[in-house]
Amino acid sequence: MDGQRFLVTGGAGYVGSHLVLTLVQRGAQVVILDNMRQGHQAAVPDGIELVQAEVGDRRRLAEVFAAWKFDAVFHFAALSLVGESMRDPLRYCIDNPSNSLILADAAVKAGCMKFVLSSTAALFGFPKQIPIDEDAEVAPVSAYGESKLMAERGLAWADRVHGLRSASLRYFNAAGADPGALIGEDHEPETHLIPLAIGAALGTRPPLTVFGTDYPTPDGTCIRDYIHVLDLADAHIRVLDRLTTASCRYNIGNGTGYSVREVMDAVERIGGRPVPHELGPRRPGDPAVLVASSAKLRAETGWTPRFGALDDIVRTAWDWHSKHPRGFDDRA
């Protein structure tokens, strides 16, 4: 990737920063655009240009695209909390699609005709078949999922009319951290199971609440798909070659789901200490099992996860959180 330059929105956030790290390690040049409300300065590698701005700011986008010529855009900057989206659906349905398409419009005007969208498998709502492939019915049950679907539909029109080639990558739970613990997951509020379980074990967070123990699964708790954040970064890069000829969409999953209890067991195994927890009722709208297929992605790009086992994912997360119990504040 030597000599190529990419714009990464949300590149100081969790998934975006791991993509930036991967791009830099592969010899690419990167410019980050991030409003820094969820991003961290300490997650930005030395020497990387950081533009602090809103992704929907047309003037600033025009300046950025005028200052640098990009080979592609990777778009991560978005509102992303499902629960919040159900409390404030209009915010999500306005901000996420409009900001994505303002960015796409700026790319088209600048002649940057490759666009990779960090989308979501929440588009599929309550799937009828597991694992979920690309032919599954698209029927979001949250405003967050709907907002990403709106963005995807707008990008399809940008391709049809302007020739902007886009890849929409749909996945559930990004997890883990850089194995060297250079960067990792640091959200506030934190809603993801693995860091909540690790925080409970380390004593840096309250006891974990297990929402529902009576699901039709082997141990009664929900089963979910977990993808290592660096495997996601690799997938985002691999789809660039597909954009030479046409737009595409891919689901990304390990193909194997893990229950809440299995995640807790993995944290206890890796960390060598118990996960304090309490049992709670089901959360409304939580399906028993959500697992995405990556068969198409594997067949068409050669993608294979490096961190396919749950213990491998949890181990990298444990290393990050145990070394940085206050997240990036430890590095400020």
Please list the active-site residues: 144
Phi, psi dihedrals of residue 173, rounded to the nearest 5°: -110, 100
244, burial (CB in 10 Å: exposed 0-12, middle 13-18, buried 19+): exposed
DSSP state at residue 25: H
By DSSP bridging, strand 114-118 and strand 72-75 are: parallel
Strand locations in the chain, DSSP E? 5-9, 29-34, 49-52, 72-75, 114-118, 165-171, 173-175, 208-211, 223-228, 248-252, 257-259, 277-280, 289-290
In the block, which residue shows the tokens 């588009």?
A: 123
Hey, what are 277's tokens? 């927890």
172, amino acid identity: F
Report whether 51 contacts 108 (CB < 8 A): no
Short-list 83, 154, 119, 137, CA closest to 252: 119
Residue 42 to residue 25: CA distance in whole angstroms: 17
Q: Compute the C-alpha angle 105/106/112, nearest 5°.
A: 100
Distances in Å between the alpha carbon of 114 and those of 160, 247, 296?
A: 14, 9, 20
Give the number of C-alpha atoms closer than 13 A to the C-alpha of residue 148, restricted to the C-beta side.
Answer: 33
Residue 259 to residue 218: CA distance in whole angstroms: 9
36, amino acid identity: M
Report whether 92 contacts 140 (CB < 8 A): no
Residue 171 to residue 292: CA distance in whole angstroms: 7
